[in-house]
Amino acid sequence: MLSFRDKINFTDPEIIRKIAVSTGFFDEEDVKVTVALAKEALKGQSNSPENFNFLFAEDDGKTCAYACFGQVPESISTFELHWLSTLNEFRGQGIGKKLIEKFLEEVKKQGGTKVFIKTSGIPQYEPTRRFYESCGFSCEARLQDYYDEGNDCLIYSMRLNQN
Ligand X SMILES: CC(C)(COP(=O)(O)OP(=O)(O)OC[C@H]1O[C@@H](n2cnc3c(N)ncnc32)[C@H](O)[C@@H]1OP(=O)(O)O)[C@@H](O)C(=O)NCCC(=O)NCCS
Burial class (CB in 10 A: 0-12, 13-18, 19+), 61: exposed
Residue 48: exposure state from Cβ atoms within 10 A (0-12, 13-18, ≥19): exposed
- Give the residue among 113, 117, 133 at the shortest CA–CA distance from 84: 117
Of 41 and 154, nearer to ligand X (C-beta) is: 154
Sequence-distant (6+) residues with CB within 8 A of 94 are: none
Q: Give the x-and-dash track for 97-136 against ligand X (CB under 6 A).
A: x---------------------x-------xx-xx--x--
Angle between helices 12-23 and 28-43 (to 10 degrees): 160
- Side-chain half-sphere of 51: how many Cα atoms within 13 Å? 9
When asked if residue 49 is in the footprint of ligand X (CB under 6 A), the reply is no
Of 13, 96, 112, 121, the one binding ligand X by CB under 6 A: 96
Query: What is the smallest separation between the CB atom of 84 and ligand X, expressed in angstroms?
Result: 5
Give me the residue whose beta carbon is nearest to ligand X. 96
List binders of ligand X among 53-92 (CB under 6 A). Answer: 84-86, 91-92
34 binds ligand X (CB under 6 A): no
3 binds ligand X (CB under 6 A): no
**Footprint on this chain of ligand X (rule: CB under 6 A):** 23, 25, 84-86, 91-97, 119, 127-128, 130-131, 134
